[in-house]
Amino acid sequence: MIDKIIGQLSYDSAAPMLFGSGLFLFVFTAFLIVYLLLRRNTVARLVYVAAFSLYFYYKSSGLWFALLIVTATSDFLIGELLQRSTSDLGRKALVVLSLGVNLGMLAYFKYYNFLVDMVWGLAGEAGRLFGIRALAELAPLHYDIFLPVGVSFFTFQSVSYIIDLYRRRITPVGRWIDYLFYVSFFPQLVAGPIVRARDFIPQIRRRPELSREEFGEGLFLIVCGLLKKGVISDYISLNFVDRIFDAPTLYTGLENLIGVYGYALQIYCDFSGYSDMAIGIALLLGFRFNINFDAPYCSATITEFWRRWHISLSSWLKDYLYISLGGNRRGRLRTYVNLMITMLLGGLWHGASFRFILWGGLHGVSLAVHKWAMSRFPGAFKADGSQMPLWRKLAGILLTFHLVCLGWIFFRAPSAGIGFDVLKQIFTAFHPEILLQFIGGYPTVSLLMLAGFLFHFMPRRLDLSLRSLLTRSPLIVQAFILVAVIFILVQMKSAGVQPFIYFQF
């Protein structure tokens, strides 16, 4: 019995701890009881939460939780030195040091094999071109490198702290445990949202308080996140979307198109579901995060889409990359170049593959074209749908959604070639006459996709009404709803663990 408990609490690469799992529910309940007992003792509470966060990360990445401690310690010390430095050159050197540590770590874990492949490939081509046998026969030095879960998120979070210190927008935390708490806080540790130091650190030493409204809001977000991830995303992925992208040529163009729509819904429900749960759990602990998704497929322009999709990342790229490159302050041409660089690097942030670069390039070109159109035809092109007549807004939503879906094809496809196979099927073998046959063959998938998109396009006032209704409900009703959702998840649970899509980033 004891061995079984120890096995459950130990790291298992095949079963990482997920918010929707029974193990997390059990462990979090035990954690919450002690947390409530410690809420008046600030230091004990900080140490306890930091220790639990490290354990949570250990359950996701094993002994690589030490990497998180190294990151936190490195940037805490650099931040202290940055505050004391009076030399502008010295301050810049410290920022470069922090970037070198954080981005160097990312480069090794995420991009080593990709960069080696590229360099060795170019060297081989040069060898064949110039008849240099030694170069032509070079073999890539591949390593089996483990990618720690969430490394892109906590490194970006730590980088933002150092840059904000350099820009004198914040002051250092002063205590190592405070900074470790900030970097490792478990609700948003492995898949965001990316929380800014200036938003989060002032909340650390404040005694956690939870009003009835905040409890209801947190529960509502957790329930929504569980339904999005555990019911909609996982089911349509395993039972339809994965099949399409594994072998698109075996299906008609209509099925491929529905598969693309399905992936658009899947990645939204998966990622926004995680964000909902992270924000809800943090709220139950007395911490408030900013919203990370705001009905992105309701966007009437590509610019508006990036104001609504993965807001913490898009705002990070804007504040720390796009503006650092010059933003729109150096002329139109430089603005378009800055947009392209930002989105190409944003695509590369998602993974070491040319398909992610292609995805980022598509969005970079789209943003540049939209910005050019707004400057050239200010009366016809607007930044978002709130400034448009209804007919133009609807047309914009339709166009933007399909542009985003085009990008999702290459984001999801195992290779660019398979992505083009999906497009080929859609344009050359559509066969709309099989629609009813498809619905009959995939009734649950069809129903969940319809429900998912209906909820996504649901008016905001209705969403607020449902949230208010749950908040005002008696505790027994709230408990019943949570139990009912867990029951639904158990009934629809697949045989294997379905990690969140953004765990790989």
Residue that has been written with the tokens 């948003």 in this structure: 188
> What are the backbone dihedrals phi and psi of residue 299, each rounded to the nearest 5 degrees, phi first?
-75, 135
Question: Please, which residues have CB within 8 angstroms of residue 177's CB and are 6 or more apart in sequence?
Answer: 43, 46, 47, 50
Cβ contact 210:286 at 8 Å:
yes
Cβ contact 192:292 at 8 Å:
yes
Q: Considering 350, 363, 370, 456, which one is annotated as catalytic?
A: 350
The yes-or-no answer on residue 431 being catalytic is: no
By C-alpha distance, which of 362, 319, 323, 320 is closest to 343? 362
CA distance 443 to 449: 10
DSSP symbols for 389-438: -HHHHHHHHHHHHHHHHHHHHHHHSSSHHHHHHHHHHHHH---GGGHHHH
Residue that has been written with the tokens 């918010």 in this structure: 19
Cβ contact 233:499 at 8 Å:
no
Q: Which two tokens stand for residue 75?
A: 């940037």
Sign of CA dihedral 191, 195, 201, 202: negative
| Nearest-10 crossing angle of helices 151-166, 65-84 | 10
Sign of CA dihedral 208, 209, 215, 217: negative
Cβ contact 288:217 at 8 Å:
no
**Please, is 178 exposed, middle or buried when counting C-beta atoms within 10 Å of its C-beta (0-12, 13-18, 19+)?**
middle
Q: Which amino acid is at 62?
A: G
Cβ contact 312:192 at 8 Å:
yes
Residue numbers annotated as active site: 350
